[in-house]
Structure 1
Amino acid sequence: RDMPKGHVMGVPGDTAPLAASGVLSAEGLARIAADTALPPTEVGEDVAVGEYVAARMGREVVDRLVEPLLGGVYAGDAYRISMRAAVPALYQAVRTHPTLTDSVRSLQGGAAARAAAERTTVTGAAASGAFFAGIAGGIGRLPLAVADACRAAGARILTGTPVRGIARTPGGWRITADGEVLDAEAVVLATPAGPAARLLAGPAPAAAAALREAEYASMALVTMAFRRSDLPAAIADGGASGFLVPPVDGRTIKASTFSSNKWAWAGADPELFLLRTSIGRHGDEGDLEREDSELVDASLGDLGEAVGLAARPVAATVTRWEGGLPQYPVGHLARVERIRTAVAALPGLAVCGALYDGVGIPACVASAGKAADAVLAASATPGTDH
């Protein structure tokens, strides 16, 4: 169910609700308490989230709280993921600094302070109280709406048209695509690292080299529809939006989302209930080689153990995302800076996407806005050659 309040990406700021949840052992809870007695830990320029939290609060907190949450967001390994890139607010809160109070010199104090700040921000924004935000009818409507708006503004949209190369011209850029050559004042590459590295190998070799260092995780989503009358109370009572699975438990699924509880519009038939599971993470992708039917069966087995689901779905579909989630290891922000510095040396060129500023849709939208601003500013600067 929901993570107890006072937590930041699984790092507990308040142990009272955590103790009541039964998620951690008595030894694990006692280890958390030791954090407040430890001297401040210098985090330096960057540190792995799991490494830092384990040193302060013990591995059980990482394995049973931090790892499932970070795995859900990045499909990665908490012991490799950069705190500075993935949880920047917590990174700033725990950095040792002469002006920090003793309460914030501990990780628990930093998490509590950050959680309080987030609650204040939400309250100040007059939030509705809903933790999840989305689009009625599904997030798949967003790219279609964007495409419609672009067409209405006079843009031309080409699909199924791979770009084979980009090159500088006196007036800007030349794009070689399947079947045609396009000239443009500016180019924004909103592609994963692999295609971006290939396209930038000529005009920006330093950026291409850094892009080739990026790693990605693959995953699969198993979406299933059940008759509501067949559901156990753990799902049907509507009080839970799903659950996360610690990798140390050795299960196939990494998480399950009870879609019909989470989104009021999910499913056109009120007699049916939609839920999904996720499978695969960086360094643990062997299950993705299995057939779709095997992934459905594995999901049902784990759901039966976790919430007592014994029914078969009336329909199921498996969606695979190969190389879908970029990894944010220690040093990730330095790599992003190298890429952007090399790209910025070429006016009218920018990059954006999940690799740079966050993997969520809001972060990707913000990344695209930053890229658009950069190429527009270059176009308006006197003395540029396009």
Structure 2
Amino acid sequence: MRETDTGTGTARDRKVLVIGGGIAGLAAAHRVLDGSEGDDRVEVTVLEASPRLGGKLLAGEIAGARVDLGAESMLARRPEAVGLAREVGLADRLQPPSTATASLWSRSTLHPMPKGHVMGVPGTADALAGVLSDEGLLRIEQEADLPPTEIGDDVAVGEYVAARLGREVVDRLVEPLLGGVYAGDAYRISMRSAVPQLFEEARRHPSLTAAVRAIQARTAGNQQPGPVFMGIEGGIGTLPAAVADAVRAKGGTILTGERASTLRARGGGDQRLSRGTRPAGGRFAQRPAEPEPVWRVVTEQGRTFTADQVVIALPAPAAASLLRTASPMASQELRGVDYASMALITMAFRTSEAHLPEGSGFLVPPVDGHTIKAATFASHKWGWIGADNPDLRIVRTSVGRYGDEKDLARDDADLVDVARRDLGAATGQTAAPVAAHVTRWQDGLPQYPVGHTARVARIREHLAQLPGLTVCGAAYDGVGIPACIASAYAAADELRGDSGTREELKANPVQSLHGGAGE
């Protein structure tokens, strides 16, 4: 730590340790360094346990074609992800999808993806004509005549929608859409956490369809120009490396292969270091001023790092393990966060043998019993893939979601065969791929069940008692790339005493009505 003589004493740089080198951790490091000006000079070190950076953002190749083997797009209607890409020099590589026309493979037929809905919940029966049965459409038309359904502090999306509009709406549209974002179970996912706009409007209106129409009217009145989603030429997976380069250019240090194993405050290290003692009335009685704790982190590799402030940007299980001494209560809450596993099967076909329909791909309702949950025609969706590889057609399919992970026990060759069979049944594609690659994301996506928002609030309440310690990432504020970055920005700003970003995030959650990391 550098000491500087100020003439009236000594001043030292603020030392910040970021634990986790996924996009949230890298964004937090970048934000901290951006905010260091004048007297607030800062040293930043990022520790990443694995040999690479980026987490679920992973660029790769198949048959010589550059592709994403993880998340492939980011919401462009929020500023965080697109803004960060521009800040780190990727502005000229940002590209919207070449086509946004998707389909739904339902009852053995590819249907155009319905419009006029909010995450699968329609404002009128006409919005789902052609996808639902006559009985299902009639149920939607009758919804306005039902008595109001109590929501309370939270409710599962699937349960609430099924009660109002029938299970067919959930099984045929809500489930595949939410599954694409969370790899989750719509009958378990929290409406308050996953679709907060719908949750708030549903509390204000006696009819769910009226709530959807209110959202649609407000959206139409505030329509933003430009594409809904954005990609990056070369793949979204190139973003982490660009952010890491920017962090290093600003003086930050990034270390891979360093897994943090213990976190303690020097001279103490547990929740007794709180800023005050909470009496029965609930307010903190201030103790005499004490020096801020200096945190001490030891890695499994035997290295010790000290810092004035720590950002934990890890999946919930790893964060729980690291916080077991510093904040046992936060650790316990984090252990309650479930995760879903999934696999991406990426295949390359010769263009002359590829018989794919137009559009960006299709979603698959689990109720039909197929193995794949979605397919993306990457060469159609991203113009740069098609332009760089005119002799190939790249297709991505996904397998696995929460509560339905049995197929992940198959070996890679079997997963490729199953994906080929389902793809062929949906599109008529019969030729064998010239190359295939399976990427497994074990415990890749956190689940947001009923009560998740309250759980996150409790975690942050526990950590607020520990000066200079904060968390960010997909387990808290949303699973999409902009949500992870927004979570990181709020954490970084809190370290320098600015709670405005956190309050803005609470008022305007990033969780999208359009999709997230699984899009």
Partner of residue 350, structure 2? 227
* Aligned equivalent of 1:24, options 114, 117, 132: 132
Partner of residue 378, structure 2? 259
2:295 pairs with 1:173: yes
2:211 pairs with 1:211: no
* Aligned equivalent of 2:455, options 320, 328, 335: 335
Q: Aligned pairs, how many?
A: 362
What does the per-residue CA deviation read over 1:176-205, in whole Å, with 9 as the maximum and x for residues that have no partner?
122311111110000011110111010100
User: What one-letter code is carried by the residue in structure 2 that aligns with 1:157?
Assistant: I
Identity, % of aligned pairs? 60
Partner of residue 383, structure 1? none
Following TM superposition, by how much is the alpha carbon of 1:377 offset from its aligned partner in structure 2, in angstroms? 1.2
Q: Give the secondary-structure state (helix, strand or coil) at the position aligned to 1:147.
A: helix
Q: Give the secondary-structure state (helix, strand or coil) at the position aligned to 1:265.
A: helix
Uncovered stretches (5+) of structure 2, i.e. residues with no partner: 1-102, 104-111, 267-291, 500-519
Following TM superposition, by how much is the alpha carbon of 1:378 offset from its aligned partner in structure 2, in angstroms? 8.1
Q: Which has the higher contact order (CA 8 A, sep 6+)?
A: 2
Q: Give the secondary-structure state (helix, strand or coil) at the position aligned to 1:105.
A: coil
Partner of residue 361, structure 2? 242
* Aligned equivalent of 1:159, options 256, 281, 284: 256
Following TM superposition, by how much is the alpha carbon of 1:119 offset from its aligned partner in structure 2, in angstroms? 3.5
Q: Give the secondary-structure state (helix, strand or coil) at the position aligned to 2:153.
A: coil
Counterpart CA distance in 2 for 1:115 and 1:298 is 39
Q: Give the secondary-structure state (helix, strand or coil) at the position aligned to 2:253.
A: coil
Counterpart CA distance in 2 for 1:346 and 1:373 is 16
Uncovered stretches (5+) of structure 1, i.e. residues with no partner: 97-103, 380-386
- Between stretches 258-267 and 136-145, larger displacement belongs to 258-267
* Aligned equivalent of 2:215, options 114, 126, 131: 114
Contact 2:125 2:138 survives alignment (8 Å): no
What does the per-residue CA deviation read over 1:107-133, in whole Å, with 9 as the maximum and x for residues that have no partner?
111112212323433x3x3x22x3321
User: What one-letter code is carried by the residue in structure 2 that aligns with 1:340?
Assistant: R
Counterpart CA distance in 2 for 1:118 and 1:146 is 32
Following TM superposition, by how much is the alpha carbon of 1:273 offset from its aligned partner in structure 2, in angstroms? 1.0
Quick check: which one's helix share is greater?
Answer: 1
Contact 1:4 1:17 survives alignment (8 Å): yes
Partner of residue 133, structure 1? 230
Q: TM-score, normalised by structure 1?
A: 0.91
* Aligned equivalent of 2:436, options 316, 319, 344: 316
Quick check: which one's strand share is greater?
Answer: 2
Counterpart CA distance in 1 for 2:442 and 2:164 is 35
* Aligned equivalent of 2:413, options 290, 293, 298: 293
Partner of residue 185, structure 1? 308
Partner of residue 396, structure 2? 276
Partner of residue 374, structure 1? 494
* Aligned equivalent of 1:199, options 322, 330, 334: 322
* Aligned equivalent of 1:39, options 147, 172, 176: 147
Counterpart CA distance in 2 for 1:266 and 1:207 is 44
Contact 1:67 1:247 survives alignment (8 Å): yes
Counterpart CA distance in 2 for 1:277 and 1:310 is 16
